[in-house]
C-alpha cells in the first residue's frame, strides 16, 4: 500500500507555471505507471500553453473556477468537473478570478518536466 501526506511532499512549480504538490509519484512512492498531484493556479494567473508527448492527464476541479483551453477550444471549469487531456493536446489554464483554482491531476505515465513542451 502507498500512502502520502502533506508532511512528506514539498510544493514546487512545474514547467507550465502551476504550483503542485505530488500526492503519489514513482520517484517518491515507487509506484510504476502514474502520478497524482494537487495543482494550484493562484488567483489572477495562468499556466503556459503546453502539451505532453507521452502523458495523458485527467484534471478534477476541487476548488475555484477557471478557463480551460484544449487546442483552440476554451471553456469555464467548476468544482466537480473532470477533464481528459490526451497526449499531444495543447492545453492551459487561466484563473481570472479572486479565488485560487485547485485541481487534482492524474498523469499516466507519471508527470515529468521532460515530457512538458511549452508553446
Q: Which domains, from first to last, does the chain contain?
A: 11-118 (2.60.120.10)
Q: What is the pLDDT of residue 26?
A: 83
Cβ–Cβ under 8 Å, residues 10 and 22: no
Ranges of H-type helices in the chain: 26-29
- Other beta carbons less than 10 A from residue 75's beta carbon: 11
Kindly give, in sequence order, each residue whose CB lies less than 8 Å from that of residue 29, ignoring residues fewer than 6 positions away: 2, 4
In tens, the pLDDT along 17-67 reads: 889 898 888 888 788 899 999 999 999 999 999 999 999 999 999 999 999
Q: Is the per-residue pLDDT at 6 higher than 70?
A: no
Amino acid at each position: 500500500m502507498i500512502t502520502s501526506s502533506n508532511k512528506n511532499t514539498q510544493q514546487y512549480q512545474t514547467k507550465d507555471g502551476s504550483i503542485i504538490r505530488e500526492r503519489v509519484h514513482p520517484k517518491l512512492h515507487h509506484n510504476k505507471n502514474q502520478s497524482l498531484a494537487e495543482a494550484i493556479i493562484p488567483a489572477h494567473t495562468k499556466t503556459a500553453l503546453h502539451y505532453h508527448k507521452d502523458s495523458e492527464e485527467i484534471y478534477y476541479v476541487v476548488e475555484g473556477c477557471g478557463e480551460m483551453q484544449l487546442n483552440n477550444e476554451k471553456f469555464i471549469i467548476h468544482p466537480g468537473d473532470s477533464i481528459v487531456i490526451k497526449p499531444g493536446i495543447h492545453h492551459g489554464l487561466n484563473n481570472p478570478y479572486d479565488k485560487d483554482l485547485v485541481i487534482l491531476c492524474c498523469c499516466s505515465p507519471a508527470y515529468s518536466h521532460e515530457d512538458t513542451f511549452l508553446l
